[in-house]
Structure 1
Amino acid sequence: MTLDLPPAPAAAPDLAARARADGVRFLLALFVDLTGKPCAKLVPVEAARELQDEGVGFAGYAVGAMGQQPSDPDLIAIPDPASYTLLPAVREGLALVHCDPHVEGRPWPFAPRVILKELLRRAADRQLELFAGAEVEYFLVSRGSDGRLVPADAHDNAARPCYDARGLTRMYDHLTGVSSAMNALGWGNYANDHEDANGQFEQNFAYADALTTADRVITARYLISTLAERRGMTATFMPKPFADQTGSGMHLHLSLWREGTPLFPGDQAHGLSTVARRFLAGILAHAPALQAVLAPTVNSYKRTGATSTRSGATWSPRRATYGGNDRTHYVRIPDGNRVELRGGDGSANPYLALAAALAAGLDGIERALDPDTAGHPELPPTLLHAVDALGADQVVTAALDAAGPGVAEYFAGLKREEFFDWHGTVGSWEHDRYLTAF
């Protein structure tokens, strides 16, 4: 009797052999917590085999927002060899590998990469694959003589600096260093530009499957930050470092595929298919709750709540609207191949952002929602409002809880605490407004 057995899974790449062949001396075994903070250990190549077979341990409570107490067992970071990334631009002989934290042999449900992988697995059960592109915007800043934050380029002071060729040229060494590093990794960097605010830049790379793109966003932030520090600057992904300037977004270009075929192009409005329109409608329907994940800081709402900037435009949506090639919408449709979700900012955790957006879109497909009848709710005015919307949204909450219960509640608690910590501070605005007002 002959049994038809499924093909054996492909063997994981040999991390130790690959690292030695590349002349790597140390591996940065890295993961992020729920806030997106990168956490890592440097592992010498001599221990690469142990890293791949056994992982490397962390005190989870010390890591940060990972749902652990001091008494809990260690987080064991298990590397994904497919994410192996050489980083000679940072240090010769250095490579990075993204990891999935485990506790007592099981994937840890509070780990953002684990959450995204679970959502992608559920989509795969429906023969769906999410592809994503991410626009990484950031500021290059330094401290002035009075201690205040200023653009690192003292000559970058034009009222409308967007696309300024001279500003690009003055930052040539930094921008080309990042671009060359991205292209050496095969990311397909295709544009580097001066954005709308003084000191603000964007560096784009090609889209990929959602997990790869999320890994690359984390790697790009690390790469950009370390190369900026080398030149005496600070790269910040803070959404709104300057009150009178445009903020930094992290726009996500999303599309669904099945067996190598894109599902979004169609013959309906804006060149979209029925599947694409329903996916879009799901995002619009869940937009208020999504903002707790896409714009997860107090500072985020200084960006989306802005009414004007020095350049004359905020480039950030205030309502959950959609339209064609129009950058004022929450969801822009540049063409029939994708939709661009513009609610996210530079503080967003890319794993959580993609997981939540995917869940919202799939809900729209499942319920056959229509974007023209989904409503166009106002976006939350503060982080506290966004967290309240999250708590009332079962779909986005379930996305955060995809790998295990309690994550959404824990995340919401962290964000409420962040809001009230900010609310409890007294600053110069209050001194200026109230000190002699009464």
Structure 2
Amino acid sequence: MASDAARLEQIRSTIADREIEFIFAQFVDMYGRPSAKLVPAAQLDSLVEDGAGFAGFAAGEIGQLPSDPDIAAIPDLDSFTPVPWQPNLARFACDVTVEGEAWPYCPRTVLRNVLAQAAEQGYEFKIGIELEYFLVQLNADGTIEIADKRDTLEKPCYDMAGLTRQYEFLTRVSRYCNELGWGNYANDHEDANGQFEQNFEYADALVTCDRAIFFRYMVHTLAEQHGVVATFMPKPFTTLTGNGAHFHMSLWKDGVNVFLDEGDSRGLGLSECAYNFIGGLKAHARAYSALTAPTVNSYKRLKLGSTASGATWSPVWISYGYNNRTQMLRIPAPGRIEDRTVDGSCNPYLAAAAVLASGLDGIANKLDAGEPNAENLYSFPYEELVGRGLRSLPATLHEAVEELERDDVLRAALGRTRENEEYVDYYLRVKRDEWFRYHEQVTPWEIREYLTRF
């Protein structure tokens, strides 16, 4: 990796060559929502040295009180990203600091800290993220509908006509991903009407999470320019498949994928290290789902039952198996693990920190993954699988945060914040408030179900 001085010189050269006039200094809050200041490119040196200042309490859930000193968003030089559709604009992903010190409520810093713990053991964590989204139209009454009125097939997955009608939008996104060097390798119509997925190559976890934040921003922006709304919401339609953001994960040491073992006696191409990592994921899944599936709406995706297409394509049971999409953990190819709990509402930094910490605990304590499951778990009654000893994922956000509260491994990994507080406790406080605000709402379903029943 280039030194900071050499990298800064490269950035100056790019700014001059592309005639970039402005730079977004961008960071995210707990929800993964990007905030930014627009800084003239002429102020690059000052931005890099001092960061961009913000009143943190005004910028969302970043752990600030109104009485706290300003936060400073310090650019990560390796995250410099020209904005393809706005040639005179670029973006830095930033780490949040306060008075010169790393701010422990910054999600990017949380991930950095867990990556550092892995690095102490010689590991590098790499992930790819499959980000699914819908293109919808927002109606005057607040309801939504699929933007493409002709996208009505009962099984629209991979529909060529649906891809063709969105050709201009999808190829524009693909082209920009490739201009940025991300390696877009596939674009498809997903299982639900109006749903799409555009894949780019895996990378170091921090790089991939930075790209995921920018990808969501890019898709939202370009959709707006096309007169529609993009949503990564986990379950925007009751009867349709939800939006996942599945993590494909591997650990590397000295340039070698330590999850890979072509001689695996179980036939999955995984090493004992990988099986221990799976053991950690299974042990902590009920707790870390509060971070990989972090909203009230998430648990309407992680559900039993079916959708209009015939399957939810989301997990319910804590299990793993070879290339089996009914499992929580799928092994799509030798040497990597796919976690299907992760959805489109996740903060990728926090989700990655949680799954990595869980997997590392599995390695440290040689946790047993158990035997892989080859069955279609959608085909068995709930009671039968419980009777066989399978554990289910939480059914609600409230249940998930209760599990997270009791998980000492994730508490330690996500770190301390203010004196006498851990990040987990701050996270729980915010998420419980989110749950209670939802829970006290009277919904149209309740009116239909109960209005004249009694």
TM-score after normalising by structure 1: 0.95
| Contact residue 114 and residue 403 of structure 1 kept, 8 A | no
Q: 2: CA distance between counterparts of 1:394 and 1:13?
A: 39
Q: Which sits farther off after the overlay, 381-390 or 421-430?
A: 421-430
Aligned runs of 1:187-226 on 2, under 5 Å?
A: 187-226=182-221
1:45 aligns with 2:61: no
Partner residue in 1 for 2:181: 186
Work out which of the residue numbers 99, 124, 134 in structure 1 matches 2:94: 99
**Identity, % of aligned pairs?**
51
**Code of the aligned partner of 1:24:** I
CA change 1:37–1:114 in 2 (3 A) is same
Work out which of the residue numbers 424, 439, 445 in structure 2 matches 1:423: 439
Q: 1: CA distance between counterparts of 2:306 and 2:168?
A: 32
Q: 1: CA distance between counterparts of 2:416 and 2:175?
A: 37
Shift of 1:46: 1.4
Shift of 1:377: 2.1
**Code of the aligned partner of 1:254:** M
Shift of 1:397: 2.0
Where does the alignment leave 5 or more consecutive residues of structure 1 unmatched?
1-7
Shift of 1:368: 0.6
Partner residue in 2 for 1:4: none
1:437 aligns with 2:435: no
**Code of the aligned partner of 1:378:** S
Shift of 1:9: 5.8
Partner residue in 2 for 1:81: 77
State the SS of the aligned residue for 1:134: strand
| Contact residue 20 and residue 45 of structure 1 kept, 8 A | no
Partner residue in 1 for 2:413: 399
| Contact residue 132 and residue 344 of structure 2 kept, 8 A | yes
Q: 1: CA distance between counterparts of 2:437 and 2:141?
A: 26
Partner residue in 1 for 2:123: 128
Partner residue in 1 for 2:356: 358
Partner residue in 2 for 1:245: 240
**Cα-to-partner distance string for 1:112-171 (whole Å, 9 max, x where unaligned):** 100111111111111100010000101111124654200111111111111000000101
Cα RMSD between the aligned structures?
A: 1.7
| Contact residue 416 and residue 422 of structure 2 kept, 8 A | no
Partner residue in 2 for 1:290: 288
Aligned runs of 1:275-424 on 2, under 5 Å?
A: 275-372=273-370, 376-401=390-415, 405-424=421-440
Q: Which sits farther off after the overlay, 147-156 or 214-223?
A: 147-156
Partner residue in 1 for 2:165: 170
CA change 1:376–1:278 in 2 (3 A) is farther
Work out which of the residue numbers 102, 106, 109 in structure 2 matches 1:114: 109
State the SS of the aligned residue for 2:354: helix
Partner residue in 2 for 1:59: 55
Partner residue in 1 for 2:20: 24
| Contact residue 74 and residue 103 of structure 1 kept, 8 A | yes
Shift of 1:88: 2.4
Shift of 1:413: 0.8
**Cα-to-partner distance string for 1:247-292 (whole Å, 9 max, x where unaligned):** 0001000000001011011122211111111011100110000100
Partner residue in 2 for 1:11: 5
Shift of 1:395: 1.1
Q: Which sits farther off after the overlay, 267-276 or 351-360?
A: 267-276
Q: 1: CA distance between counterparts of 2:257 and 2:320?
A: 21
Q: 1: CA distance between counterparts of 2:413 and 2:347?
A: 14
Shift of 1:431: 1.3
Shift of 1:10: 5.3
**Code of the aligned partner of 1:28:** F
State the SS of the aligned residue for 1:348: coil
Where does the alignment leave 5 or more consecutive residues of structure 2 unmatched?
373-388
Q: 2: CA distance between counterparts of 1:134 and 1:403?
A: 28
**Cα-to-partner distance string for 1:328-356 (whole Å, 9 max, x where unaligned):** 10000012220001101000110011111
| Contact residue 284 and residue 376 of structure 1 kept, 8 A | no
| Contact residue 255 and residue 338 of structure 1 kept, 8 A | yes
Q: Which sits farther off after the overlay, 393-402 or 53-62?
A: 393-402
CA change 1:373–1:204 in 2 (3 A) is closer
Moved over 3 A (4+): 8-12, 15-18, 144-147, 373-376, 402-405
Q: 2: CA distance between counterparts of 1:412 and 1:45?
A: 39
Q: 2: CA distance between counterparts of 1:310 and 1:10?
A: 52
| Contact residue 278 and residue 359 of structure 2 kept, 8 A | yes
State the SS of the aligned residue for 2:240: coil
| Contact residue 84 and residue 179 of structure 2 kept, 8 A | no
Q: 2: CA distance between counterparts of 1:344 and 1:153?
A: 27
| Contact residue 253 and residue 338 of structure 1 kept, 8 A | yes
Shift of 1:427: 1.8
Q: 1: CA distance between counterparts of 2:131 and 2:138?
A: 23
Work out which of the residue numbers 152, 158, 170 in structure 2 matches 1:157: 152
| Contact residue 114 and residue 414 of structure 2 kept, 8 A | no
Shift of 1:306: 4.3
CA change 1:353–1:305 in 2 (3 A) is same
**Cα-to-partner distance string for 1:165-185 (whole Å, 9 max, x where unaligned):** 000010111100100000001
**Code of the aligned partner of 1:221:** R
Shift of 1:308: 1.0
**Code of the aligned partner of 2:247:** L
Partner residue in 1 for 2:385: none
CA change 1:284–1:336 in 2 (3 A) is same
Q: 2: CA distance between counterparts of 1:339 and 1:225?
A: 29
Q: 1: CA distance between counterparts of 2:80 and 2:317?
A: 39
| Contact residue 411 and residue 422 of structure 2 kept, 8 A | no
